[in-house]
Amino acid sequence: MTTGLAAAVLAAALAVPAQAQGEGRPPHWELKETGTDVRFRGLAAVSRSSAWLAGSAGTVLRTGDGGRTWRNVSPPGAQDLQFRDIEAFDARRAVVLAIGEGEASRVYRTDDGGATWTESFRNTDPRAFYDCLTFFDPRHGLAMSDPVDGRFRILSTKDGGRSWQVLPNEGMPPALEGEAGFAASGQCLVNSGPRDVWLATGGAARARVLHSADRGLTWTAADTTVPAGDPARGVFALAFRDRAHGIAVGGDYRADQPSPQAAATTGDTGRTWTPAAQPPPAYRSGVAWLPYSRTTALAVGPTGTDLTTDGGRTWRTVDTGSYDTVDCTPDQGCWAAGEKGRVARLEN
């Protein structure tokens, strides 16, 4: 851990007086006015100054000035779509995923900051429902659909999202009865490094994490300790700081239901999962490691933000605002987004 941000967040979590830190005001989420009330479950942080948002009503926003102003760069004619994930390579290039049954699942790409968009994929299988996407590099990426013919379906691109192909499903283990992904934060499919990718599930008797070490051709499945057994429960988000060490968060998204054991960790590429000794107190839909940190991460959900400084073993609530997703960048920029147009950046 080399960043001042990580140390500052730790100070906030331990409620150390700001004066003792010599930092002025402790770190906090600072809301950024977006001028809309749509729900943003898709977030791609490029830097402290640049970020993309994707949300309901086909909305895509972009900032290049740290959130002081936001430009509406929504694809034309997309107002009936639900954007749930966005991956950005820089301030000009991004790929956004719309979710839903049949043709509601679509992918768009822009190369000019959202001035123009190209629809690069439209799902024609009424049984498929795409939830999340991830990119290994600016060329290679994957998207995942809920099970079709008893197995999760994986979509692959080798040209930055300009074209997509459905991968063979022989290397995908059978799905459990009722098993699916959650399109809650754009973090049900995540990668670390050039080839490793993980898929989070719920809705079945057991919440699982599936892992592929060959960009989605073959997969292995592992049970987690996050409770499932109901369509509303399971693992909602994953974050890996390297190919071995990861965090899973989730729970039960219904506000009137408890979410015990809502976080777990792995140190062996997702083969085994250990429950958090002190988990977040409620359902969490998004999680992100702080840059350059081996031990510090943030988890967010409708009832607050939690911090871990021991690699996910224990969590402490540090904010009670509602957020659905969180993302951090190498230059120490952490962003969060959620309902009613809420977007914030972590400020020192």
Q: Could you give phi then psi for residue 94, rounded to 5 degrees?
A: -155, 155
Integer angstrom CA distances of residue 6 from 51, 257, 347? 20, 32, 12
In this prediction, residue 25 carries a pLDDT of 63
The helix or strand, by DSSP H or E, that contains position 10, with its residue range, turns out to be helix 4-13
pLDDT tens-digit map of 283-310: 999 999 999 999 999 999 999 999 999 9
In this prediction, residue 175 carries a pLDDT of 98
In this prediction, residue 27 carries a pLDDT of 80
Give me the amino acid identity at 111: D
Percent of the chain residues topping a pLDDT of 70: 93
Sign of the torsion angle spanned by Cα atoms 289, 300, 186, 196: positive
Using CA atoms in the order 70, 290, 323, 24, what is the torsion angle rounded to 10 degrees?
-80
Q: Tell me if residue 244 falls in helix, strand or coil.
A: coil
Six-digit token pair at 232?
């509303």
Kindly state the DSSP code that residue 75 receives in the 8-state scheme: P
The beta-carbon contacts of 168-171 under 8 Å, at least 24 apart in sequence, are 168/217, 171/212, 171/217, 171/218, 171/219
Average pLDDT, the chain: 93
Q: How many Cα atoms sit within 13 Å of 191 on the Cβ side?
A: 22
Residue in the block written with tokens 């083969």: 271
Q: What burial letters (b/e) apply to 145-178, b meaning 16+ CB within 10 Å?
A: bbbbeebbbbbbbeebbeebebbebeebeebbeb
Tens place of pLDDT per residue across the chain (348 aa): 334 444 445 444 434 433 334 445 678 999 999 999 999 999 999 999 999 999 999 999 999 999 999 999 999 999 999 999 999 999 999 999 999 999 999 999 999 999 999 999 999 999 999 999 999 999 999 999 999 999 999 999 999 999 999 999 999 999 999 999 999 999 999 999 999 999 999 999 999 999 999 999 999 999 999 999 999 999 999 999 999 999 999 999 999 999 999 999 999 999 999 999 999 999 999 999 999 999 999 999 999 999 999 999 999 999 999 999 999 999 989 999 999 999 999 997
Which of 231, 232, 225 minimizes the C-alpha distance to 249? 225
pLDDT tens-digit map of 4-47: 444 445 444 434 433 334 445 678 999 999 999 999 999 999 99
pTM: 0.93
pLDDT tens-digit map of 31-43: 999 999 999 999 9
Contact 146, 189 (CB under 8 A): no
Residue in the block written with tokens 């940190």: 293
Give me the amino acid identity at 228: A
In this prediction, residue 24 carries a pLDDT of 55
Contact 79, 57 (CB under 8 A): yes
